[in-house]
């Protein structure tokens, strides 16, 4: 029996550690029949080392999503490797330290602008860089952390994720005519590289101990990876502009 991504070609960003959601998405994508290519920044060698733990060898491309030169050459590199693309996974987020950890009211605009550029605008710039390779349509899947709420310690990454969610909806609107779907997975907290950069992350994560209907495991990124792979597949052919919650159901619980 073939996998649900058999014959698909997918670009995946954000593979930093084996605990990354993106790593599990890449692993599952390969297991489900996809050919993949990875991008990395600022340390491609780190991603190359982690990529060796995937079921099949894969190329790693250096990509700073704020660098127009990197974005401009991406399509040629990917075309040489895969010929085209059927899917793109955006797993990129960054905010300077002074934009996190309870400093919301004192964060300078320069830091906010960096968070917005890397974490939200890059969904559009990455997709547009890949667009020439998606001649037969495809699926763009990004990662968010539920931006309906103000989370402890999360500070300016919250507005950045809200911008990401709005960006995905507008992309769904404008790319639908090319049969390109744009969706997000809203994952619960995980002990990933991103989490390690948030001061007081434990306070945020503890919310899941008390309110999540399904038991939530901070050490298990696979459910979120499965959500990404499902949205990359043809099993959601008419779903776009959506946010699929893979958070143990906490988003549905008021208190």
Residue 122 predicted with pLDDT over 60: yes
Where residue 190 falls among pLDDT bands split at 50, 70, 90? confident
Residue 197 predicted with pLDDT over 90: no
Residue 214 predicted with pLDDT over 90: yes
**114 vs 96: CA distance, rounded Å:** 7
Where residue 136 falls among pLDDT bands split at 50, 70, 90? very high
**229 vs 224: CA distance, rounded Å:** 9
Please identify every residue annotated as catalytic: 154, 161
Q: b/e for 69-80, b at 16 or more Cβ within 10 A?
A: ebbeebbebbee
What is the per-residue pLDDT for 255? 74
Q: pLDDT for 82-102, tens place per residue?
A: 999 999 999 999 999 999 999
Nearest to 189 by CA among 251, 119, 142: 251
**227 vs 14: CA distance, rounded Å:** 16
Q: What average pLDDT does the structure give for the chain?
A: 94
What is the per-residue pLDDT for 198? 67
What is the per-residue pLDDT for 195? 59
Where residue 158 falls among pLDDT bands split at 50, 70, 90? very high
Q: What percent of the chain has pLDDT over 70?
A: 96
Where residue 203 falls among pLDDT bands split at 50, 70, 90? confident
Structure tokens, 186: 């809203």
**16 vs 22: CA distance, rounded Å:** 8
């Amino acid at each position: 029996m073939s996998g649900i991504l058999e014959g698909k070609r997918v670009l995946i960003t954000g593979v930093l550690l084996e605990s990354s959601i993106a790593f599990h998405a890449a692993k599952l994508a390969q297991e489900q029949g996809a050919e993949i290519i990875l991008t990395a920044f600022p340390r491609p060698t780190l991603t190359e080392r982690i990529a060796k733990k995937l079921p099949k060898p894969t190329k790693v491309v250096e990509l700073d999503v704020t660098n127009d030169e990197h974005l401009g050459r991406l399509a040629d590199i990917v075309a040489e490797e895969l010929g085209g693309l059927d899917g793109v996974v955006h797993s990129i987020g960054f905010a300077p330290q002074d934009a996190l950890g309870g400093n919301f009211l004192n964060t300078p605009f320069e830091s906010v602008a960096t968070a917005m550029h890397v974490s939200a605008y890059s969904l559009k710039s990455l997709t547009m860089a890949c667009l020439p390779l998606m001649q037969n349509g495809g699926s763009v899947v990004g990662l968010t952390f539920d931006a309906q709420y103000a989370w402890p310690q999360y500070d300016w990454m919250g507005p950045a994720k809200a911008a990401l969610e709005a960006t995905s909806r507008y992309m769904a609107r404008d790319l639908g005519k090319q049969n390109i779907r744009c969706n997000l997975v809203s994952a619960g907290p995980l002990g990933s590289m991103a989490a390690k950069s948030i001061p007081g992350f434990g306070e945020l994560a503890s919310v899941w101990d008390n309110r999540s209907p399904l038991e939530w495991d901070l050490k298990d990124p696979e459910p979120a990876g499965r959500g990404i792979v499902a949205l990359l597949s043809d099993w959601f052919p008419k779903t776009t502009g959506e946010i699929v919650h893979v958070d143990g159901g906490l988003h549905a619980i008021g208190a």
